[in-house]
Amino acid sequence: MSPSYDVVVIGLGGMGGAAAHHLSARGARVLGLERFGPVHSRGSSHGGSRITRQSYFEDPAYVPLLLRAYELYEDLARATGREIALLCGGVMVGRPESRTVAGSLRSAERWDLPHEMLDAKEIRRRFPTLTPDDDEVALYESRAGLLRPENTVAAHLQLATRQGAALHFEEPVLRWEPYRDGVRVHTAENTYTADHLVICPGAWAPRLLADVGVPVTVERQVMYWFQPRGGTGRFVPERHPVYIWEDAAGVQVYGFPAIDGPEGGAKVAFFRKGRVTTPETIDRTVHDDEVTAMAEHMARCVPDLPGTFLKAATCMYSTTPDEHFVIARHPVHPESVTVACGFSGHGFKFVPVVGEILADLALTGSTAHPIGLFDPARLAAAPARDSSERGARP
Binding residues for FAD: 6-36
What is the rounded CA–CA span in Å between residue 110 and residue 324?
19
What's the N-to-C CA distance of the chain in angstroms? 24
Q: Backbone phi, then psi, for 226, in 5-degree steps? A: -120, 145
What is the rounded CA–CA span in Å between residue 206 and residue 387?
10
CA distances, 189 to each of 6, 11, 40, 185, 199 (Å): 20, 16, 21, 11, 19
From 342, 337, 353, 338, select the one nearest 378 (Cα to Cα).
Answer: 342
Binding site, annotated residues: 6-36
What is the rounded CA–CA span in Å between residue 55 and residue 45?
22
Q: Backbone phi, then psi, for 64, in 5-degree steps? A: -60, -35
CA distances, 132 to each of 18, 71, 254, 281, 303 (Å): 38, 33, 14, 38, 10
